[in-house]
Amino acid sequence: MTSSEDLSIVTRAAAELERLRKVPQHDGTSFPRACRKMMLSLPGNSRCVDCGNLNPDWASVSYGVLLCVRCSGRHRSYGVAKSRVRSISMDAWSHTQVLAMLEGGNEQLQSFFQRHQMGNTSIASSHRYHTKAAEFYRTHLDIHARKVGSCGLYGGRSQSRKKRSTEPKQTNSHKLEMNQQMASKTCREKQVHLLGIESRRQSITATQ
Ligand SMILES: [Zn+2]
């Protein structure tokens, strides 16, 4: 995210996340407005990740994806260990859950499944969430979201994926500069490491 408009959304989302951080985890709040706008702008998020229905309003936090109401019902049947379903409009959300939605995305998961020969077919969409590949994805997304949350003010997906050589002065936002300066080198190294979703996914065997 490099444009001034995108930066503005990231800054507002970061402020919302800081307010949400102070809310007890079990309480949560409605999905924050700027965070929602950011989430809806992610590639693939205008359609249900499983069936392609427009304007999905349900989510599987486990994978950071958006679902239509029909597919959300099927995900509930998988059990919370396989897919944790929430309503974007009606449920309360915690800091980590919102971060999972901002760091996930429908296209990202769909691409992951396609690399494991589990693309968007009716059979695959029911079965793929029970595979070891799916377990790998949801485990690492959860770890990644928690780590991003522990590293201070949110700077957007691009910052979460930057190499540690990135210089703080590359951004125009003073808030983001402060965040980057506060984030320890060790913390950033861990973030890069945990982005193994991107680098290690190809080594996972998609056995069922
Ligand atoms: Zn659907």
Residue type at 136 in one-letter notation: F
| Domain count for the chain | 1
113 C-alpha to ligand 1 centroid (Å): 16
> What would the mean pLDDT of 177-202 be, rounded to a whole number?
45
Give the pLDDT band (50/70/90) at residue 124: low
107 C-alpha to ligand 1 centroid (Å): 14
pLDDT at 170: 38
The answer to whether residue 198 sits within a structural domain is: yes
121 burial type by CB count under 10 A (0-12 exposed, 13-18 middle, 19+ buried): exposed
8 C-alpha to ligand 1 centroid (Å): 31
Find the CATH number of the domain harbouring 74.
Answer: 1.10.220.150
How much of the chain exceeds pLDDT 90, in percent? Answer: 63
- Does residue 152 surpass a pLDDT of 70? yes
Give the pLDDT confidence of 130-143 residue by residue, as tens digits: 999 999 999 999 99
CA 61 from centroid of its chain's CA atoms: 8
Residue type at 130 in one-letter notation: H
- Does residue 89 surpass a pLDDT of 90? yes
Question: For residue 133, what are the domain limits?
Answer: 4-203
137 C-alpha to ligand 1 centroid (Å): 20
> What whole-number distance in Å separates Cα of residue 208 and Cα of residue 206?
6
Which alpha helices (H) appear in the chain, and where do they start and end? Answer: 4-21, 33-40, 69-78, 95-103, 106-115, 122-127, 132-150, 157-160, 174-182, 185-194, 196-199
pLDDT at 164: 37
73 C-alpha to ligand 1 centroid (Å): 9
- Does residue 173 surpass a pLDDT of 50? no
The answer to whether residue 208 sits within a structural domain is: no
Give the pLDDT band (50/70/90) at residue 41: very high
189 C-alpha to ligand 1 centroid (Å): 37
